[in-house]
Amino acid sequence: MAPRRRPGPPEAKSWGHALTQQVGRNLEAYRRERGMQILELGEACAALGYSVGRMSISSLEAGTRESVPLAEVVALAAALDLAPVDLIFRATSATIELPPGERSAMDAASAWFAFHSPKGPASSDFRTLQRHYVSVATLVEDWRALNNHREAAREGDGFSYTDPETTRSVVRNATKEVLLLAQLREGLAVRDRVAPELPDFLAGIDEPTGPERVIGRFTDLTEETEAIIEASKVHTRLLEHSDDVGQGAGQRGER
């Protein structure tokens, strides 16, 4: 008689169920985006050679299933014209618990799961990727803030930002983050790892003088904003002076 399999710890079962529920939520979202009914999705799977019943799909989307076979994930993804990894990772949350008990940045976990870090989540590659995505997200926010500041100044709302320290503080933070990002990407390159793609405003950071050029973009944006604000102040002072001159001339004429 074969020995009975001992049940795993409750926390492992709970994590597996939570991951299955996430697959179900993602499945439903993608299915609805494509305008497919559950029955149609099941038929599409059957046409691929792997049957997934309507009740199986319904219970998976409802979050009542404890687990889902890998073969089913692959079939459902193919039927929806997705990569299987898309059913696990979807950009609706910043983090994911992967592996059990470890909260990871969604992008970093997806990269590890897909191909970037074959050594696993405990490896230095995975840690580097996690910090890389955080660094890029921080720089995107800094870049957006500086652009919003500039646009506000152009539209005449720049006087709410008269303290230049506001943008200079953002540039100081961005400078530290750019240097860290360059270091992280260099570390990945040394270990023959593929560094993730970057937004256009960070282009060239991997080149010898790249970090300085990227920092220069932040500095140039700040200086442009300050110049717009200063020009607005000068223009306002000229208008005020013109009004004063006009009022003085009018008063003399009345005499």
* Mean pLDDT, rounded, for 226-240: 69
| pLDDT, tens digit, 9 for 90 and up, residues 151-202 | 887 776 544 554 667 778 889 999 999 999 999 899 888 877 778 889 999 9
Q: What is the DSSP string of the chain?
A: -PPPPPPPPHHHHHHHHHHHHHHHHHHHHHHHHTT--HHHHHHHHHHHT----HHHHHHHHHT--S---HHHHHHHHHHTT--GGGGT--TT-SEEE-STT-EEEHHHHHHHHHTS-TT-TTSHHHHHHHHHHHHHHHHHHHHHHHHHHHHHHHTT-GGGG--THHHHHHHHHHHHHHHHHHHHHHHHHHTTPPPPP--GGGTTTTSTTHHHHHHHHHHHHHHHHHHHHHHHHHHHHHHHHHHHHHHHHHHHHH-
Which pTM value belongs to this model? 0.51
pLDDT at 6: 43
| pLDDT, tens digit, 9 for 90 and up, residues 97-111 | 876 777 777 766 776
Residue 214 pLDDT grade (very low, low, confident, very high; cuts 50, 70, 90): very high
